[in-house]
Chains A and B, each alone.
Chain A
Amino acid sequence: MTNMYEEQKHQHENRFQYKQRNMWTGILFGLGVVAFIDEVIFHQLLHWHHFYDKSTAAIGLVSDGLFHAFSFFATIGSAFLLADLNRKHGFWLKRWLGGIFLGAGSFQLYDGIIQHKFMKLHQIRYNVEILPYDIVWNILAALLIIIGIVLLLQTNQKDQ
């Protein structure tokens, strides 16, 4: 029993040292997860997004391909980074969550503004008034970013 208690107490003793690493691990995971949610919900389940919109610009195709490959890289990579933090007793849940919100929000905003609007990769939904969808999409992204920043600032102050 005492042993287990000791272990619990010392489990995350190195977390301050790995502060930045916790944040980046979260950001990568957030990026990957939001890309996955986008694919599953909007492409596969709702069929709102299109696989390829005929108005896509060449640069949009490149951006989409890079982000697509990067998103599953980030998901798998961040899972291993998390395992690495855990093995170094440096995991910090709150800071990691902050990173996730920031990463998820940033990708959502990039997708909503740059990819959907400037590169015309595809729209959120077709044959509807698109403006409300765009507004909700991007406000949601901004909210995620704000939550992420707040969490990161909170864990920043706790240093030492």
Chain B
Amino acid sequence: MHSHDVHAQNFPIMVQLLLALPFVLALIGYILAVIISNQHKKQWPHFRTICWIVGNVCALITLIGPLAALSHIHFDAHMIGHLLLGMLAPLLMALAAPMTLLLRTLPVNRARILSRLLKNPYVRFIRHPIIASILNVGGLWLLYTTSLFNLMHEHILLYVFIHLHIFLAGYLFTIAFIYIDPTPHSYSYVFRSLTLVVALAAHAILAKFIFANPPHHVPSTEAELGAKIMYYGGDAIEILLVYILFYQWFKSTRNSIQPKAATSSR
């Protein structure tokens, strides 16, 4: 709080704008793609467009305006930002199926290049559920249990990098577990479920760890409130994620309804 008051007042508006820009472009780009592709393909589902808009708005209110300024001084506000930018926005944006939209909007030859890009070994590696979990939850452990959290508020570049990382890792994490867009290398539901339990447990454990061991310069009352926001708010979004994963699983085993087929799935 105290020493950070100075920081908050001249929290550079340029940084806010810089971080907000990709999301504004993504929002405009998506809507343009919907309009263009609707002209010669069937109507793009409104549900997906709404998901994209709300997801981007969630990210934007974290990065720009009053919540962004508050996050800089209050840990509880920072945690609300974490939930919105790192969890809810990625989930909603994954549900919006941006790659599917892009593939149907681009001319065939460019779409082929894109789908080849999505199959490359690097993308395959970071989309592995365990790697995506380490990048996401592991990154959070690093942020809140080391001095990184303090450094972030002193160095603008680090601030930008960490906020982009929180969003990207959250998005990667979401698409590693629920497959909305085309997924070249898919993993079994059993494997994804088991990995997800451990990843979500690591998130809950981190919340309680923060409760007991606040990051440097964070007053304990704020850390305790922030930890509870992370724990219970995280639950609400995670329940949505688990529900979607199991719903997809349930649908995929529809073919095993014959009485003899006792095995549930892969």
Measured CB to CB, the residues of A under 8 A from B are: 14, 17-18, 51-52, 54, 56, 61-62, 64-66, 68-70, 72-73, 76-77, 80, 83-84, 87-89
Is the beta-carbon distance between B246 and A61 smaller than 8 angstroms?
no
Measured CB to CB, the residues of B under 8 A from A are: 193, 196-198, 200-205, 208-209, 211-212, 224, 227-228, 231, 235, 238-239, 242-243, 246-247, 249-250, 253-254, 257, 259, 262, 264
Is the beta-carbon distance between B250 and A84 smaller than 8 angstroms?
yes
Known contacts being A18-B262, A51-B211, A72-B238, is A65 close to B257, with CB within 8 Å?
no
Between A and B, 11 residue pairs with Cβ closer than 8 Å are A51-B208, A52-B212, A61-B208, A64-B204, A64-B205, A64-B208, A65-B202, A68-B201, A69-B201, A76-B246, A84-B250
Is the beta-carbon distance between A65 and B259 smaller than 8 angstroms?
no
Known contacts being A66-B197, A69-B197, A77-B246, is A84 close to B264, with CB within 8 Å?
yes
With a cutoff of 8 Å between Cβ atoms, the chain B residues found around residue A68 in the complex are 201, 204
- From A64, A66, A83, name the one whose CB has the most chain B CB atoms within 10 angstroms: A66
Measured CA separation A150–B201 after assembly (Å): 33
- For B259, give its contact among A52, A70, A88 (CB under 8 Å): A88
Is the beta-carbon distance between A51 and B228 smaller than 8 angstroms?
yes
Is the beta-carbon distance between B243 and A83 smaller than 8 angstroms?
no
With a cutoff of 8 Å between Cβ atoms, the chain B residues found around residue A76 in the complex are 239, 242-243, 246
With a cutoff of 8 Å between Cβ atoms, the chain A residues found around residue B196 in the complex are 73
10 A-B pairs besides A51-B228, A51-B231, A87-B254 with CB distance below 8 A are A52-B208, A62-B201, A68-B201, A69-B201, A70-B201, A72-B235, A73-B196, A73-B242, A77-B242, A88-B259
Is the beta-carbon distance between A17 and B212 smaller than 8 angstroms?
no
Measured CA separation A66–B205 after assembly (Å): 8
Known contacts being A61-B205, A73-B193, is A80 close to B246, with CB within 8 Å?
yes
Total residue contacts A-B, CB cutoff 8 A: 73
| Chain B, Cβ-Cβ closest to A79 | B246
Known contacts being A18-B262, A84-B250, A88-B257, is A72 close to B208, with CB within 8 Å?
no
Give min CB distance, B25 to chain A, whole Å.
35
With a cutoff of 8 Å between Cβ atoms, the chain A residues found around residue B239 in the complex are 72, 76
Measured CA separation A73–B246 after assembly (Å): 9
With a cutoff of 8 Å between Cβ atoms, the chain B residues found around residue A52 in the complex are 208, 211-212, 227
With a cutoff of 8 Å between Cβ atoms, the chain B residues found around residue A83 in the complex are 250
Known contacts being A69-B197, A76-B243, is A61 close to B209, with CB within 8 Å?
yes
With a cutoff of 8 Å between Cβ atoms, the chain A residues found around residue B212 in the complex are 52, 54, 56
Measured CA separation A55–B102 after assembly (Å): 53
Give min CB distance, A63 to chain B, whole Å.
9
Known contacts being A61-B205, A62-B205, A84-B264, is A70 close to B246, with CB within 8 Å?
no
Is the beta-carbon distance between B257 and A70 smaller than 8 angstroms?
no
Give min CB distance, B143 to chain A, whole Å.
18
With a cutoff of 8 Å between Cβ atoms, the chain A residues found around residue B259 in the complex are 14, 17, 88-89
Measured CA separation A76–B250 after assembly (Å): 11
With a cutoff of 8 Å between Cβ atoms, the chain B residues found around residue A51 in the complex are 208, 211, 224, 227-228, 231
Is the beta-carbon distance between A65 and B201 smaller than 8 angstroms?
yes
- From B209, B246, B254, name the one whose CB has the most chain A CB atoms within 10 angstroms: B246
- From A17, A54, A68, A87, name the one whose CB has the most chain B CB atoms within 10 angstroms: A68
Is the beta-carbon distance between B262 and A17 smaller than 8 angstroms?
yes
